[in-house]
Structure 1
Amino acid sequence: MLITVSGPAGSGKSTLAEALATALSYEHVSGGDIFRSIADERDLTPLELNRRAEDDDQIDRDLDRRLRTTAREQDNLVLESRLAGWMAGEYADLRLWLDGPLDVRAERIAEREEKSVEQAREETQARAESEALRYEEYYGIDIDELGIYDLVINTARWSPDSVTDIALQAVDTYDEHTDEGQTPVTGVAYDF
């Protein structure tokens, strides 16, 4: 089974993806880790790399190509990134979207990255706006369109353990045959 975990920065993607992978004995692949590695290799912060990606579409395309290849080639996987649900296309069995109010997400990021909440809020908002423009431009994806996801969870309402329990319940009750006769979600024709 391929499970994707998507959502904006600070929504709890990594926390849930790691918990699911552990509970299910699946591998966990994170687009954020890949992106941060690319930033480190270029001696940039993720925000700086994000800004460069506005002018260099190869940064996003390389990351997205790796995500799509991983989705196609691996089983028993939790694939986590903002676009994992889209990039996995027809290979995804269960697509999860996590979200939460910007203030809650900024507090989480500020704590994790040891910065002020205000700085985290500004950077998170700038990053989200930058990414939304690129997703639309490159792939025709409206990141706010949540119709492709099987389950959307507001992580401000539940503890991380409760979010994991909700997601595991979705996995346990997943029926691959419930969408027979429906058009599979394949996203758009991506030009990597």
Structure 2
Amino acid sequence: MRVTVSGLPGSGTTSLARYLAAEHKLELISAGEVFRQMAKEKEMDLVEFGRLASEDPSIDRLIDERQKEIAGQMNDIIVEGRLSGWFIGEAELKIWLTASLECRVRRILARDVIENLDIAKKLTRQREECEAERYRTYYDIDICDLSPYHMVLNSERWGVEELGAIVDTAIRMIRT
């Protein structure tokens, strides 16, 4: 089974993907984790690294192509990333998580080292605008187009356990 989990920053994609990987014994590949690690290696925050990625398309393409290649070679995998639902065409289940900007920013503030809520909101907006422009330019993808996804779930309404229960049911139905 191949599952993708996508959503905007702070929507809970990594948390849900980790839950599903553990629950269903699936391998997990996370584009966000790779992107964060690459930023850290270059001693940049995510906005700075995003700007660099805007100037150097090879950064995004490297992450995206690697995910696609690995997913194509494995049968039991969760692929977590903003564009994984677009790139993993053979996925049996594609999930998009949504939450309000305020909710996502609070999560980002708790997760990342950012001074305050206003700065976190500004950085999140900048990051989202930068990513949306890169996706349009590199792949002709509108990140707001949810047509590739089988499920759109509100992670502000439900926590990881509740979202997991919903997706667990979908996975059981697909496997039968």
Mind listing any 5+ residue stretches in structure 1 that lack a counterpart? 177-192
TM-score by length of 1: 0.87
Equivalence for 2:132: 132
- Measured after TM superposition, the shift of residue 132 of structure 1 is 0.6
Letter in 2 for 1:117: L
Aligned pairs (5 A) from 1:3-152: 3-89=3-89, 91-115=90-114, 116-152=116-152
CA contact (8 A) 2:95 2:152 kept: yes
Deviation, structure 1 residue 175: 6.3
Relative to structure 2, which stretch is displaced further, 56-65 or 166-175?
166-175
Higher helix share: 2
The letter for the 2-side match of 1:7 is: G
Q: Distance in 1 between matches of 2:85 and 2:173?
A: 19
The count of residues paired between Structure 1 and Structure 2 equals: 175
TM-score, structure 2 length as denominator? 0.95
CA distance in 1, matches of 2:143, 2:113: 28
The percent identity for this pair of structures is 37
CA contact (8 A) 2:9 2:124 kept: yes
Q: CA deviation at 1:41?
A: 2.3
Structure 1 segments, 4+ long, off by >3 Å, are: none
CA positional deviation for 1:47 = 1.7
Deviations 1:115-165 (A, max 9, x none): 322111111111111111110111111110001100000111112210111
What SS does the corresponding residue of 1:152 show, helix, strand or coil? strand
Unaligned runs of 5+ in 2: none
Q: Which amino acid aligns with 1:25?
A: K
What does residue 186 of structure 1 align with?
none
Deviation at 1:75, TM superposition (A): 1.6
Task: Determine the structure 1 residue equivalent to 2:2.
Answer: 2
The residue matched to 1:54 in structure 2 has which SS? helix
CA–CA distance in 2 between the matches of 1:57 and 1:159? 35
Paired residues of 2:46 and 2:127 also in contact (CA < 8 A): no
